Structure 1
Amino acid sequence: MRVIIVGCGRVGSLLAARLAAEGNDVRVVDRVARSRRLLPTGFPGRFHEGNGYSRTVLEAAGIEHADAFVAVAPGDNSNIVSARTAKETYRVPIVLARVHDPRRADLYGELGIPTIAGVRWTVHRVHQMLLHRHLTPELTFGNGETLLIRSQLPDYLAGRRLTEFGVDGEVHVVEVTRAGRSFVPAHNTPAEPGDLVTFAVAATSLGRLRGFLGKELGT
């Protein structure tokens, strides 16, 4: 996946390093050349100096072929302009933006741009939204280390015990909604077609849950 990250501060550099380490094609844009020092030694991605809302800079970074765009620069105004440019001009499929002033979150929402805030939480949340966008958390705890995820079970899992879907210390089934009625499953409760299941999952185990449900989620 090609990801363009505008802003190479604490959030941008941490996110870039994490995504690049996972084999993604990462392009970082920042108007201050020395900010590249925050990237790890041997960073395999590319760094582009310039404004994140400059079409010349964005095209040099390969935005026309980008799969995702993340605006995490220090200023809300620059983030919203660059995010809108990515979404409306270049039709990038996934566009996320960091918001520093929570009062502006509604503005981003009206534009269809999901927002995130806080350093550690931001890195976790952006990573989840980029790679696990079909698994939207209902609730997060701490700095995003533990999540509640609701998903309809694939039909091929019908008949298996719901407790079999857990992984010790990583994934746990905490609730099932069946035919509009919610209940906590017993040890031997079998899955049925159409079950909507709530999982408590460690953020680091989203990939495992995603793979488990992937046949139905199209991921």
Structure 2
Amino acid sequence: MAVFGLPVFGERKEIEKQKIQGEEKEMKIIIVGCGKVGATLAEQLSNEGNDIVIVDKDAEKVQDISNACDIMGVVGSGSSHNVQLEAGIREANLLIAVTGSDELNLLCCLIAKKAGNGCQTIARVRNPEYSQEVHFIREELGMAMVINPEQAAASEMARILRFPSAIKIETFANGHIELLQFRIGANSVLNNMRIADMGAKIHCEVLVCTVVRGDQVIIPDGNVVLQERDIVSIVAPPKMASQFFKKIKVQTDQVRDTLIIGGSTTAYYLAKQLLTMGIDVKIIDKNRERCEELSDLLPKATIICGEGTDQDVLMEEGVNWMDSFVTLTDVDEENILLSLFAKEHAPKIKSITKVNNTTFDEVINKLDLDSIIYPKYVTAEYIVRYVRAMKNTIGSNVETLYRLVNNRVEALEFVIRQSSPILDIPLEKLSLKKNLLIASIYRDGVLIMPNGQDVMSIGDKVIVVTTNQGLDDISDIVKER
């Protein structure tokens, strides 16, 4: 089967073509690199009905992923012209290079631009030395996106520390609408409260769009009763969200200081952002050379050379009185245990735990941890969001996409640009899919918390929260007849 004698695994699977106005919504995507991010992208993009080809020099990894995802795999270097031809670069819409080498990723994209027929390219670039040159690199190589996983993860962490009561914060409609996740505490006024009664009892209009209770994910109606330890997602304008948290007596101001364990690249990016926000930063790392390097890079931060996993060191450096605590070592188990230790000695501290391995995510989510960041999911989410945006040219109208609850829930922002059979019909008369909620409608600068009499119209931005995967067009929210 391989024209150039290259090992090839799998067959291009025949996917049932979804169509809007006669146009296919499938995209042909080549993913170079079968690491954690590459495997995650292959799984997610394949599940959305795209034609995926993976490329890597490791035959075993290629075969494992191609078998698991039922996709085609090519063994070889993604920077080889012949390998890219074998992978189908001439027909591809997008090439994503996520190998462990920045330079190799950029070379793959450069060759794809020359060999492909209008193929868009995305490269993962991790070296901080390139962080100031991203715009130049993207423009000169004609790339669609340059993604830095560490910087993206750091930005998510900084956003959380700006609003420490939230586990996760996402924005829609150019920042006019926020989706916030938080956990209900033991003494919360929301404990044992019916969602339909929240407005009257709290006097603050927000919409509850998901409730996570143990292993169960609920897209709730008004009859659901909130319980202690539920993880709840609400949708509201930023000002209303702030008022809501004040009324349920949880912290809304950003943290004053943070203690970071591990002097990784992510720690550097995070510290840089926090210092800009006026937050005091202290970093503990056991490598003296790295500490000296961080001292030069971050002169306003306090850098401690010591063993961050030593309880005595943590107590000596004030973990029990810090506002926030971030664990960024290379060992997941260490990060988890350190966060649990911090919560035990400082119950009100805001903790962020970095986890790379998602094998035991269900167990981890049951632990008393605040925010858990999976860097590979953050990176994959950015790229999947771009792929959905690319589909705008072939019928899709997804403007923004966020994955929640370990990818079990999607929050999507649809921008309605053209007529559709479901427009201008009261929502109560639409046969919506199960486990789907229209969370808000943003129209002419006004946020509408929709009821059954509201309608969707051209020009609206509609936020939909659902456990259904792969919605591309606003018409996808209704059941198929």
TM-score (norm 2): 0.37
* Matched residue count: 210
Aligned residues of 1:132 and 1:207 also touching (Cα < 8 A): no
Q: Which residues of 2 match residues 25-174 of structure 1 at below 5 A? A: 25-36=51-62, 38-39=64-65, 41=67, 44-101=70-127, 103=131, 105-110=134-139, 111-116=142-147, 117=149, 118-131=375-388, 133=390, 134=392, 135-137=398-400, 146-152=410-416, 154-155=418-419, 156-162=421-427, 169-174=435-440
Report the Cα distance in structure 2 between the residues aligned to 1:17 and 1:213, rounded to whole angstroms.
Answer: 21
One-letter amino acid of the counterpart of residue 196, structure 1: D
Mapped to 1, the partners of 2:70 and 2:60 lie a distance apart of 17
**Alignment pair present for 1:176 and 2:438:** no
In structure 2, relative to structure 1, the CA distance for the partners of 1:139 and 1:106 (3 Å cut) is farther
> C-alpha separation between the residues in 2 aligned to 1:140 and 1:89?
33
Q: Distance in 2 between matches of 1:142 and 1:17?
A: 17
For residue 23 of structure 1, report the CA deviation from its aligned partner: 5.8
In the TM superposition, residue 137 of structure 1 has moved relative to its aligned partner by 1.2
Percent identity over paired residues? 22
On the 8 A contact 1:154/1:213 being kept in 2, the answer is no
- Structure number with higher relative contact order (C-alpha < 8 Å, ≥ 6 residues apart): 1
For 2:98, the aligned partner's letter is: V
Q: Do the aligned partners of residues 101 and 174 (structure 1) sit closer, same or farther apart at CA in structure 2, a change above 3 Å counting? A: farther
Deviations 1:60-98 (A, max 9, x none): 222112233211111222112212322344134443322
Q: Tell me if structure 1 keeps the 8 A contact 2:441–2:449.
A: yes
Structure 1 residues 197 and 43: alpha-carbon distance in aligned structure 2, compared to 1, 3 A threshold: closer
User: For residues 379 and 52 of structure 2, what CA distance do their matches in structure 1 show?
Assistant: 17
Checking the alignment, whether the CA contact within 8 Å between 1:68 and 1:95 is kept in structure 2 is yes
Superposed displacement of residue 27, structure 1: 2.2
1:30 is displaced (CA, Å) by 1.5
Q: Secondary structure at the residue paired with 1:13?
A: helix
Change over 3 Å in CA distance of 1:32–1:190 after alignment to 2: closer
Question: Residues 15-43 of structure 1, C-alpha deviation per residue, up to 9 Å, x if partnerless?
Answer: 33444566654322113334336526466
| C-alpha distance after superposition, 1:116-170 (max 9, x if no partner) | 4331233344344335633131777677754351402643444312576765643
Moved more, 23-32 or 160-169: 160-169
Q: Which runs of 5+ in 1 are unaligned?
A: 215-219
Cα distance between partner residues in 2 of 1:211 and 1:152: 7
Q: CA RMSD in A?
A: 3.5
Q: Does 1:201 align with 2:232?
A: no
Specify whether residues 167 and 34 from structure 1 end up closer, same or farther in structure 2 by C-alpha distance, changes over 3 A only. Answer: closer
> Residues 130, 139 of structure 1: CA spacing in aligned structure 2 closer, same or farther, 3 A cutoff?
closer
Rounded Cα–Cα distance in structure 1 between residues aligned with 2:428 and 2:65: 42
